[in-house]
Amino acid sequence: MKYRKEIERRRTFAIISHPDAGKTTLTEKLLLFGGAIQVAGAVKSNKIKKHATSDFMEIERQRGISVATSVMCFAYKDILINLLDTPGHKDFAEDTFRTLTAVDSVVLVIDSVNGVEEQTRRLMEVCRMRDTPVIVFINKMDRDGKNRFDLLDELEKELSISLHPMTWPINSGTDFKGVYNLHEKNLVLFQANTKSTDENSLAIGDLSDAIVDQKLGEANAATLREDVDLIDGVYGQLDVEEYLAAEVAPVFFGSAINNFGVREMLDTFIKIAPQPASRETTNGTVDVEDDKMSGFVFKIHANLDPRHRDRIAFFRVCSGKFERNKYFHHVRLNKDVRFSNPYSFLAREKNIVEDAYAGDVVGLFDTGNFKIGDTLTEGEDFYFTGIPSFSPEIFKEVVNKDPMKTKQLEKGLMQLTDEGVAQLFTQYGGNKKIIGCVGELQFEVIQYRLLQEYGASVTFNALPFYKACWIQAQDKKKLEEFARFKQANIGEDKDGHLVYLAQSEWFLNTEITNNPDIAFHFTSEIHK
């Protein structure tokens, strides 16, 4: 109870979207409003040297995409916001899915031109699985896109969620005039390449006011009045409880690149978004207002600063007060650990923090003690549940191009696969290294980072495997016999657990049928 005031001040959310919907640009604009940065970076332009604040890996800045979740903390109107910008690319979906376990709500960015895309559906499935409240920001209204009513219908149908418009656009593309704030009853006029300010905002007591015709033109004003009548009739007032229960998603329209429509969303977000909530563990529910500190690691990043071989574990505080230099219990290792330099983040910039409360994300300097899902507590033994782990779908053998750099390669492989976006297996009875990933782009990133950060040059040979299954048996002899007999298809993960690498679904089903004494699992969570 004694930390309630701090908890009430915090909002922790992730921005998610399909690639190129404008997610990183929106992140930049939110940081501008929070005063955390002065100038937004150009995410795509190679001519401009200022890059997006949230894209801190060199490969991200070269390609103009986000491939790692970055964490930013800023204050807005006395609310402390922890914002997690996630990768949009489907090959990094696992990183995004895990990040969603560390937040209390989500902002989903939709491209008004393309509407719902494949990755949008997958991300919404995860939000629904966890009943995560969602706010939708429909971006790129200054481009010629889909009809706004058609777009809402498509979102509701494709994403199986009820929507509630909070702002309404006046036209789109080159004819985009601005948005009408249905909640605040004001009109915000759009001017390309300028930031929306109070001067652009027009308070309107009644839409029949002649000033609306004057500002928008008679035809646009008439269309707006019709649209607003229809929306009011269909949607009425937003029920905040329905939003918090993930049954309804408030919708905002705008243009992030022009900083338009963003403030309206942010002002509503800080009013209605959920505060940090209690969470489920293997020992029941941990109350967010519990005085004892607890939290979990949802992401690990090696070489956040390439000049110092640092490794940072991203830690979500779930209850109590995290304090610098205080000892906490590392449940998996069953030992007490303390941190002299815990960080808060603004992407690349790190600031040492003295304390943190439920909802905060802190960076812990890691010497190799942490794995994804690890829990720190003030003495109790439990794990937070629901942190997903996926069986890889693409497998490649690592081929070392420079035998003189074997040590650097091994260190790089261990550290990069600790980050959780790829899994490392060693051939059973041999030392062939196999990397398993969910998507092809991850191999490119690993190859690039091995060379840039560890000086190890590698190529990859594709392997004919379809799935990795962790295998267990009560009778250890049967497990050893199976491993010896199927040696070409057996690997060991980094913790020495046996994994069966199946060539196809048929092979996998055959082995499951023929070996009833062996349990096949599609996740390594069983070994916790």
Same domain, 289 and 262: no
Same domain, 124 and 101: yes
Which one of 224, 246, 272 terminates a domain?
272
Dihedral angle computed from the Cα positions of residues 369, 326, 83 and 249, in that order, rounded to the nearest 10 degrees: 100
Is 385 among the domain residues? no
**Cα–Cα separations (whole angstroms), residue 10 to 375, 449, 509:** 21, 35, 48
Residue 369's pLDDT is: 81
Quick one: which of 299, 331, 390 has its CA closest to 85?
A: 299
Is 257 among the domain residues? yes
Is 389 among the domain residues? no
Same domain, 34 and 173: yes
Same domain, 128 and 190: yes
Residue 54's pLDDT is: 45
Q: What is the CATH number of the domain that holds 54?
A: 3.40.50.300
Strand partners, 180: 168, 187
Name the DSSP class of 56: -
What b-and-e string marks burial along 183-206, b requiring 16 or more CB atoms within 10 Å of the CB? bbebbbbbeeeeebeeeebbebee
pLDDT in tens, the chain (528 residues): 688 899 999 999 988 888 778 877 888 888 887 765 544 443 333 333 344 444 444 544 444 433 344 778 888 888 988 888 776 445 455 667 778 888 999 999 998 888 888 778 878 877 887 789 999 999 988 888 788 889 999 999 988 889 999 998 888 787 888 888 888 787 878 766 555 444 456 677 677 777 878 888 888 888 888 888 888 888 888 899 999 999 999 999 988 888 788 888 999 999 999 999 999 888 889 999 999 999 999 887 765 555 545 678 889 999 999 999 999 999 989 999 999 888 776 544 557 788 899 999 888 888 778 888 889 999 889 988 877 666 778 899 999 998 898 899 988 888 778 777 788 999 888 889 999 887 777 788 788 888 888 899 999 999 999 888 889 988 888 898 999 899 889 999 888 889 999 999 999 999 999 999 999 887 765 444
Same domain, 130 and 257: yes
| pTM given for the model | 0.75
Is 309 among the domain residues? yes
Same domain, 229 and 319: no
Same domain, 207 and 265: yes
Rounded-to-integer distance, Cα 175 and Cα 2, Å: 53
Kindly report the number of other CB atoms within 10 A of residue 48's CB atom: 10
Is 314 among the domain residues? yes
Rounded-to-integer distance, Cα 136 and Cα 106, Å: 9
Name the DSSP class of 276: P
Same domain, 202 and 306: no
Residue 461's pLDDT is: 93
Residue 200's pLDDT is: 59
Same domain, 24 and 161: yes
Same domain, 302 and 344: yes
One-letter identity of residue 516: P
The domain in which residue 61 lies consists of 4-272
Which one of 377, 408, 425 terminates a domain?
377
Q: What is the CATH number of the domain that holds 453?
A: 3.30.70.3280
Residue 40's pLDDT is: 43
Same domain, 248 and 289: no
Q: What is the DSSP code string of 194-245?
A: S---GGGEEE-S-TTSHHHHHHH-HHHHHHHHHHHHHHHHHH-S--HHHHHT
Residue 250's pLDDT is: 95
Residue 296's pLDDT is: 93
SS3 401: coil
Is 249 among the domain residues? yes
Number of domains in the chain: 3
Residue 196's pLDDT is: 47
Is 411 among the domain residues? yes
Residue 526's pLDDT is: 43
**Cα–Cα separations (whole angstroms), residue 32 to 150, 234, 283:** 32, 35, 41
Is 472 among the domain residues? yes
Inter-residue contact 147 to 154 (CB < 8 Å): no
Rounded-to-integer distance, Cα 343 and Cα 346, Å: 10
